[in-house]
Amino acid sequence: MCFTAGWADGKLLDMGIWLSKLSLPSESDILTSCRKKYGICMIIAQGFFFCKSGSSIMIDIRSDTVTFPTKEMRQAMADAEVGDDVYGDDPTVKKLEELGAQLSAKEASLFVPSGTFGNQLALFTWCPRGTEVLLGEESHIIQHEAGAASIIAGVQTRPVSAPDGVLTVEALAGRYRVTPGLPLTAPVSGREPRRERDPHVPATSLICLENAHSSGRTVPLSAMNAVRTFAREKALPVHLDGARLFNAAAALRCPAADITGNVDSVMFCLSKGLCAPVGSLLAGPKDFIEEARCKRKIMGGGMRQAGILAAAGIFALSSHTQLLEADHVRARELERGLGEIPGISVEQGDINMVFFTWKNAGGKTGGAVRDFFRDRGVLINPPEPAAGTGDEKSRRWKFRFVTHYWIGDKELETICAVSREVFGSF
């Protein structure tokens, strides 16, 4: 295994061992030493997994969050000018926030630690406590943010049917109650009269969209625009979970600003497929961001010399967003390869995610399949059971493979070859 001193500082993350930058031992030496000292056969180093045999690096397709900084990005981080961002003194953070506002066509943006943090901060800032948020039933905010909306913002989420992430006006109209903070019966200029407030139900305070959706699909701009029109009639703001905003822009072949022009606020990640190690941006109107900055402090998100992290974000937005289309191309190639394997049904995707189900002919558990891949040098998430397909040993399993910056053509060939071996052996 060969490292370059510029990007691999030689830190073994799990063991906390520091190796010399100037004289790194071979992979075999590392493995031998760790086996003797710690009694382990697998260690993690700089985002890569070393196999017990020392023969290869594990290919990681669990998510695009596993991407790590390039040599050039690490250099930008090392050279970053910094200050105390809570005091507003970090010039690199300011530069990142200005860039984020520019790319999303918003008045201002705010650097936050993570995508979940950014989404929850948006809810916390937009919504009065005790109100209700309308959003797709399979959205990330509902499914994968640990119920945070009820804890942080003190709001109720009301799921709306949204096939492939597409919320329709008809579905929203069936869930909308009344907008808080406005006259309840008097007409508002250009909008419909307020409904009488039912004291038994919460008021609707926000609509949330997601594009690209965590299903791997993109939402058409026309659908977003229809929701925006509906929201304006109800005097409601619209927030976009744009964790993979630039994937959506690449797939829809439009600037990111064309997507964000349909919403009032947007969160987008820097660490999903863009190689930045940490961080997201929340963008929106200036007064909204000023309020969010105060509430970021309440949530523990005020960071000091954060310019080191912001520099990675600037590099990601400036140099890596245009590379995402190549990840999409490889994902479609992977779909075609998997689709040729008997027993596999591939779902249509738009971005760098490949979803498919597999007929579990051999009665194996999801964990067994995951381990089979791992033993052949490929890391995957354990599959989830496909809906309505029987008990653990007879059901169909649903898998997600994700391409990203560190998955090239050679890695793709290996993934396809291992998939043919694994699924063909059960």
Residue pLDDT, tens place only, 400-414? 999 999 999 999 999
Of the candidates 351, 356, 350, the one whose C-alpha atom is nearest the C-alpha of residue 416 is 356
CATH number of the domain that 275 lies in?
3.40.640.10
Residue 368, pLDDT score: 87
Same domain? 111 vs 164: yes
Confidence category of residue 424, pLDDT binned at 50, 70, 90? confident
**Residue 48 identity (one-letter amino acid):** F
CATH number of the domain that 351 lies in?
3.90.1150.10
Of the candidates 260, 265, 240, 241, the one whose C-alpha atom is nearest the C-alpha of residue 249 is 260
**62 falls within a domain:** no
**65 falls within a domain:** no
Query: Domain end: 301, 319, 337, which one?
Result: 319
- Give the pair of three-digit tokens for residue 12: 């073994």
- Give the pair of three-digit tokens for residue 287: 């007064």
Spacing of C-alpha 204 from chain mean position: 26
- Give the pair of three-digit tokens for residue 16: 């906390």
Same domain? 225 vs 236: yes
Distance CA 42, CA 69 (A): 22
Residue 367, pLDDT score: 85
Q: Which segment of 19-33, 121-135, 184-198, 307-321 scores lowest on mean pLDDT?
A: 19-33
CA torsion sign for 45, 50, 56, 57 is: negative
Same domain? 307 vs 329: no
Query: Domain end: 292, 319, 346, which one?
Result: 319
**187 falls within a domain:** yes
Q: What's the chain's average pLDDT?
A: 85
Residue 395, pLDDT score: 64
User: Which residue pairs, CB below 8 angstroms and at least 24 apart, start in 11-19?
Assistant: 11/45, 11/46, 12/43, 12/44, 12/45, 13/44, 13/45, 13/46, 14/43, 14/44, 15/43
**258 falls within a domain:** yes
Same domain? 135 vs 254: yes
Same domain? 42 vs 128: no
Q: Which segment of 170-179, 225-234, 252-261, 384-393 scores lowest on mean pLDDT?
A: 384-393
User: Exposed e or buried b for every residue in 41-69, given b needs 16+ CB within 10 A?
Assistant: eebebebbbbbeeeeebbbbbbbbebbbb
Which of residues 393 and 420 earns the better pLDDT score?
A: 420
Same domain? 157 vs 265: yes
Residue 404, pLDDT score: 98
- With a pLDDT cut of 70, the percent of the chain lying above it is 80
Residue 194, pLDDT score: 52
What's the average model confidence in pLDDT over 80-85? 97
**119 falls within a domain:** yes
Same domain? 240 vs 105: yes
CB 338 within 8 A of CB 354: yes
User: Phi, psi at residue 131, to the nearest 5°?
Assistant: -95, -175
Q: Which segment of 3-12, 231-240, 364-373 scores lowest on mean pLDDT?
A: 3-12
Residue 57, pLDDT score: 74
Which of residues 309 and 390 earns the better pLDDT score?
A: 309
**129 falls within a domain:** yes
Confidence category of residue 280, pLDDT binned at 50, 70, 90? very high
Same domain? 287 vs 140: yes
Residue pLDDT, tens place only, 203-227? 999 999 999 999 999 999 999 999 9
What's the average model confidence in pLDDT over 310-336? 98
CA torsion sign for 302, 286, 267, 178 is: positive
Residue 1, pLDDT score: 34
Same domain? 233 vs 281: yes
Same domain? 378 vs 232: no
Same domain? 261 vs 340: no
Same domain? 115 vs 242: yes
CB 137 within 8 A of CB 160: yes
Confidence category of residue 28, pLDDT binned at 50, 70, 90? very low
> Helices marked H in 24-146 — which ranges?
27-38, 71-78, 91-104, 115-126, 140-143
CB 127 within 8 A of CB 105: no
Residue pLDDT, tens place only, 151-177? 999 999 999 999 999 999 999 999 999
- Give the pair of three-digit tokens for residue 110: 């705010």
Distance CA 314, CA 349 (A): 28
pLDDT of 9 higher than 60? no
Residue 324, pLDDT score: 98
pLDDT of 83 higher than 50? yes
What's the average model confidence in pLDDT over 121-143? 97
pLDDT of 143 higher than 90? yes
Confidence category of residue 190, pLDDT binned at 50, 70, 90? very low
Distance CA 116, CA 299 (A): 12
Helix, strand, coil percentages in the chain from 3-state DSSP, rounded to 5: 40, 15, 45
**139 falls within a domain:** yes
Structural domains in the chain (count): 3
Query: Domain end: 319, 347, 374, which one?
Result: 319
Instruction: Name, in order, each residue with C-beta under 8 angstroms of 115's C-beta and a sequence gap of 6 or more.
Output: 140, 241, 243, 267, 268, 269, 272, 280
Domain span holding position 405: 322-426
Instruction: Name, in order, each residue with C-beta under 8 angstroms of 73's C-beta and a sequence gap of 6 or more.
Output: 275, 276, 311, 312, 315, 316
Residues recorded for the chain: 426
